Structure 1
Amino acid sequence: MLTVSRYLTISETDFTSAQGVALRPAYLATTGRLYMIDKDTAEALNDESGFERKIRPDVLEDLIDAGAVIPDSVDELEVILEENRRAIAENRTRTFVIMPTSYCNLGCSYCGQAHTKATLRGSHRSGLVRRIIGEIESGCYDGIALNWFGGEPLMGYANIRDIARQIVPLAGDRGLSYWSQMVTNGVLLDARQLDTLYHDCRVSFFEITLDGTSHDLLRPKKAGGESLDHIVNFLSWAVRQPQYEDLRISIRTNVSPANRGEAAEFARTMAERGLGHDKVSFYAAPIHSWGNDISALELGKTAYGNVELEWLQAYRDAGLNCPSLVPTQRKKIVCIAMQTSAEVITSSGEVFSCTEQPLVPGYENTAVGNVSSLRIGRRPAGLYETWNDEISSGNYSCATCAILPVCGGSCPKAWAEGNPPCPATKFNLSSKLDMYASTHGFERP
C-alpha cells in the first residue's frame, strides 16, 4: 500500500501553463524541491483515500521516484530523525565559536545579552589555544572551524588576530580543511582589519545586521553617533576589491513593528549604494527572545509570515541576492548544541554548548566546563543533544510538522523556554508556493 508523504505541501491555488494545463505548485520538504502538479493529481493527493486509482500510472511512478508518495509501512518521522542522528555522529569538523570579548559597542533594545568589559586573556586564552591545538592534533577530524562571536568580536580584534595566527598554519600542516566566519555589527570594521582577518585569520564570511532605514535608531552606538552610512560605504568598497575574491557577506535585518514597512526603501537604498553584488546576500528575520521579554518588540508569527514575503519581494525587485523562497536543503544538524564536537568559548574561558547561553541572564550556570580544566576532546554534554529523541517522543509539535526535514526544529532552547521558534515558512508556505508559480510564468485563470 502507498501513502502520500507527510512532508508534501500542495497549494490550493490553480495556475495555468502556457499550454492551458491546470496546475498547482507543491513543495516536498524531504528534498527541498518545488513542483508544478496537474490539478487532478493534486486533488487526488489531497484526498488521499484511494488516490492511487485516481492518478495516471506514469505520474504515480514519478511521484514515487520523487519521494512524494511512499510505502505506508515507512515511518517518515523516524527516517528523518535517524538521518539527523547519523549526520551528527559522522560529522568530522571540529567547531569552536569564540567570544574574544564580552562587551558590545551597540545598545540594541532587543538584545538578550548582558555585556561586561571582559576580554579573553592570560590562562584562559592560553587554555583555549591549547584546547584547539589538541583537537587539531588528535587525528579525529577532517576540518576545523573557528567562528567569531560576541558581544562584538571586533572589540577583541587583537585576540582574534593572535589566536588565528597560531591555529591557521597548524591546521594546514596537519592537512585539515579550515573555515572561519564572524558575526559582527560592522561598526569597527575597516580596511586594515579586513585585510588581516581575510588573509591571516582566513575569515571569509561575515554576517552583519542592518536594521532597515531605521538602523541608527534601532541599533544605537553606546558612545553616540550613527553607524549605518559607515558600514554600508565600507562594505560597498570591500566587495569590489580583487584581493578579497572569496569574501562573502550576509546582511541580516531584524524585523520589528518599528521597521516592518521599510523593506522597499531599504532594499532600493542598498542596491543604489552598491550592495547588489554577487558577494552580498540579504535576509530578514524576526526579533526573537533569548530568554528576555521582547513582547513589545516582536511581531506575531502569522504577521511576520506576511511581512517576510514583503521583504523577499523587495530584495528581488531591487536586484539584491536573497534566499530562495523555500529551503532547498535538509537541515540535519540544526545547531551546534546538537553535537559535542562543537562548543562556545567565552572571554572567561567558560565552555557552553549553545550560542544563546553565554552572557544571557539566567543561563550563567549552564557552562559545561572551562578551558583551564577540561581535558582535550569533545566537550561534555549540554542541555540539547537529545533534541531528535525529544521530537521522536512527541514532546514538541515538530513531530507533526510538514517542514521538519528542512527546519530541524529551529532552536531547542527556544522550545524549552516555551517560545516556539517556528520559521516564517511554516506560516506562509502556501503564499510562497503561489509566488513561485507566478514568477515562473504560470498564470492564475
Structure 2
Amino acid sequence: MLDGKFHTDGSQAVTFIKPSRYTVLVPLTNDRHLAYNTSSQAFSVWDADDLALWNALVDHGAQEFSAKYRGFVQGGYCLNADADELEIVRARYENVRHNDSHLMMTIAPTLSCNFGCHYCFQGLDKPLTKMTPSVRTATKAFLLEQLEGRKSFHLTWYGGEPLMDQDAIWDVSKDAIAYCDANGIKYTSMMISNGYKMTVPVAEKLKKARVSRVQITIDGDAEAHDSRRHLTSGRGTFDKIIENIREVTARRLLTVSVRVNIDGQNEANARAVLDELHSEGLGLHNGVSVYFAPVESVAENASGCDGCLSKTDYADVESRLQQLAFEKGLMATPKMPRFLGLCTAVKPNSYVIVPNGDLHKCWDTVMESKMRVGSVMKGSTRKTDAGIEAMWNQWSPFDNDVCSSCTLLPTCGGACAFKFVHNDYASGEAGRLPCPSLKFNMAEQLFLRAKARGFVTDDDWHQKNSPTVKESGMLTGNTHTFSSIQAIHNALQGPQEL
C-alpha cells in the first residue's frame, strides 16, 4: 500500500516508488521470468514487457507511481520510495521473536536411545538417565509458571528417544493440558522419535496427550536403513518402523513426517525410501509426508563430517529428491518459509528441558551441561548461565552485513543461531555455515512450485540461466564464509567473559 500525501491546498502530492530489495527473478526461456518477493511472499510469472518495466524502474532507482506499476506494488515488488525496507523486515522479525502470547518448549525426558546411529550428535555412548520424580515435578511447575498469560503453547518431545520414558510424557502432558484448557490457552504438541516404539497403543496415548504429529527418520530401504539406524544390539529397525507408520496412520491417530538424512553416499537410498513409502500406499492423502535434511557435524560427540555434502552439492541433491517426492504424493509444493531461524533458541522464555532439569536454548547443546542457560530446579543457578543465555538473546541476523544485505533475509531469518553462537562446537562447511539449502536451490524450488500450479512446463527451464548456482554467480547473492561467521561468533563471546 502507498500512503497518499497532500499539499496544504488539498491537492495530492506525487508519490514515488522504488523496487523491493527482496525480489528474486528466475530467468526462463522465451523471455519470461519467475518473480518471487521474500518479504511479501508474492509469486508471479513475468513476460518480456513486465521485465522491461521492472528493469527501467531498477535503473532509475525510484519512479513516480502510475497505474502501470500497480501490479508491482500490489505484489510487494515495489514500495514507497521513502520506506526503509530493512527496518520494516526487522520490525516484523522482532515482533515474531518477542511475541509473548505464544510459548514454545521442548522437553527431552531422557537422552537414552535404543538406536546406535553412527552420525548421532549424542555419539554412541548415550546416558541412560530419565527424569526423576523431583525433576518431573519441577518441570511441571516451571511450565505452569511460564504459561501464565499466554494465548497459545507448543510443546515438542525430544531425546534421545522420548518414548524410552513414556511416564514423563503422560504425566507432564496431563498437567500442561489441564492448565491450558482451564485458562483458554491453545495447546499443540509434536514429537521427534525414531518410530520403533510408536505402536498403535502408544499412538493412542499420544493422541490423548494431544501429540498430533511425529517426525521419524528413515534412511533408505531396509538394507541401507538398518546399516545406519539399527538398535544398539545391531538388529534392524526398518520393518518395525514401516509397520508402525502404516498402522498408526491407517487409524488416523497421528500424522507422520518422515525425515531422510542425506550425505554424500545415500541419494539412491533416499530414492528407495520414497519408493517404499509409495508402494505401501502412504502419502499426503493419509497423513505421511517426507522432507530431507543434510547430515551435519554439530557436536563434539558426533563422528565427524567425512561423508557430509557441501552446501551446493546438498542443495542439488535435495532439488532432485523434492521433485521425486512431489511426484509420488509425499511432499506438497514447496512453500517458502517466513523467518526460518525463529526457533526456541532465539525466542526469549522458550527453552529445552533435559532429564536433569537443565535448561538449554538449542536442541544441539543438550549433551553439554556447560552450555546450559539455567535449571528448573530451584537454587541450582550457575554464574555462567546468564552469560550463555545473553549470547543467544543478543544474537540477531540484522547485526551482520552478510545477513542484513541478503535477499533471502525475510525467508531465512539467519537460519541457525547455533552456528553463530557456538560456531567453534561444529565442524565442516555443513556444520559451521548457517545459510540454508534454499540459498543454493531457490530457483529450483520456485520452478517446481510453478510447475505444480501449471504456470510453467519443463520446457520453460533454461539450463544455463535458470539455476540458482551458475558460473556467473548465485542468483541469491553472497553467503556466509568461515571468516564472517567466526567474526560474529567472537563478538558474541563478550558477555560470557565478564
Normalised by the length of structure 1, the TM-score is 0.87
What is the aligned partner in structure 2 of residue 49 from structure 1?
Answer: 59
Measure how far apart 1:282 and its partner are. Answer: 0.9
Structure 2 partner of 1:408: 413
Partner of 1:423: 436
In the TM superposition, what is the alpha-carbon distance from 1:260 to its structure 2 partner? 1.6
Superposed, which structure 2 residues align to 1:15-414 within 5 Å? 15=30, 22-46=31-55, 48-50=58-60, 57-114=66-123, 115-136=126-147, 138=148, 140-199=149-208, 201-213=209-221, 214-242=224-252, 244=253, 247-278=254-285, 279-292=287-300, 294-320=304-330, 322-327=331-336, 329-331=337-339, 334-359=342-367, 363-373=368-378, 381-388=389-396, 391-394=397-400, 397-414=402-419
Aligned 8 A contact 2:218 2:273 in 1: no
Structure 1's 168 and 56: CA in aligned 2 closer, same or farther, altered over 3 A? Answer: closer
Q: 1:263–1:101: structure 2 CA closer, same or farther, 3 Å change rule?
A: closer
Deviations 1:166-203 (A, max 9, x none): 3222321222211111101111111221111111x111
Partner of 1:19: none
| Whole-Å separation in 2 of the counterparts to 1:319 and 1:39 | 34
- SS of the residue corresponding to residue 267 of structure 1 reads helix
Cα distance change of structure 1 residues 393 and 73 upon mapping to structure 2, 3 Å threshold: farther
Q: In terms of mean alpha carbon deviation, does 224-233 or 38-47 score higher?
A: 38-47
Q: Is the CA contact 2:97–2:342 (under 8 Å) kept in the aligned structure 1? A: no
The one-character-per-residue Cα deviations of 1:133-166 (angstroms, maximum 9, x if unpaired) are 3334x3x211233221011111111211222223
Residue 97 of structure 1 aligns to a residue whose secondary structure is: strand
Determine the C-alpha separation between the residues in 1 that align with 2:362 and 2:282.
32
Distance 1:354 1:269 in 2: 33
Counterpart-to-counterpart distance in 2, 1:253 and 1:32: 27
SS in 1 for 2:355: coil
The alpha-carbon deviation at position 127 of structure 1 amounts to 0.9
Task: Supply the distance in 2 between the matched residues of 1:323 and 1:420 (Cα, whole angstroms).
Answer: 28
Using the TM superposition, name which of 59-68 and 344-353 deviates more. 59-68
Unaligned runs of 5+ in 1: 16-21
- Matched-pair contact (CA < 8 Å) for 1:108–1:219: yes
**1:60 to 1:414, Cα distance in 2 relative to 1, 3 A:** same
Q: Distance in 2 between the 1:392 and 1:190 partners?
A: 45
1:442 aligns with 2:456: yes
Task: Structure 2: give runs of 5+ residues left out of the alignment.
Answer: 1-15, 425-431, 461-498
Secondary structure (helix, strand or coil) at the match of 1:338 reads: coil
What is the CA–CA distance in structure 2 between the aligned matches of 1:333 and 1:43, rounded to whole Å? 35
Count the aligned residue pairs.
Answer: 421
Secondary structure of 1:125's partner?
Answer: helix
> Which residue identity does 2:419 align to in structure 1?
A
Show CA shifts across 1:365-420 (max 9, x none).
Answer: 12121111179xxx9644322233xx32325x221221111111111111341712
Q: State the superposition RMSD in angstroms.
A: 2.5
Native 8 Å contact 1:209 1:251 kept in 2? yes
Query: How many angstroms apart in 2 are the aligned matches of 1:368 and 1:147?
Result: 19
Identity of aligned residues (%): 25
CA contact (8 A) 1:88 1:333 kept: no
Counterpart in the other structure of 1:12: 27
**What is the rounded CA distance, in whole Å, between the counterparts of 1:44 and 1:350 in structure 2?**
57
Cα drift, residue 431 of structure 1: 2.6
- Contact 1:180/1:205 (8 A) holds in 2: yes
Q: Which aligned segments of 4 or more residues in structure 1 are displaced greater than 4 angstroms?
A: none
SS at match of 2:113: coil
CA-CA distance at 1:77 after TM superposition: 2.0
1:61 deviation in Å?
1.4
User: Which is further off, 212-221 or 42-51?
Assistant: 42-51
Further displaced range: 366-375 or 268-277: 366-375
Separation in 2, partners of 1:387, 1:303: 29
Question: Residues 265 and 354 of structure 1: is their aligned pair in 2 closer, same or farther, counting only changes over 3 Å?
Answer: closer
Distance, in Å, in 2 between the alignment partners of 1:91 and 1:282 is 32
Equivalent residue letter for 1:393: D
Q: How high is the TM-score relative to the length of structure 2?
A: 0.79
Q: Distance in 1 between matches of 2:340 and 2:270?
A: 31
- Structure 1 pair 282–102 and aligned structure 2 pair: CA distance change class (3 A): same
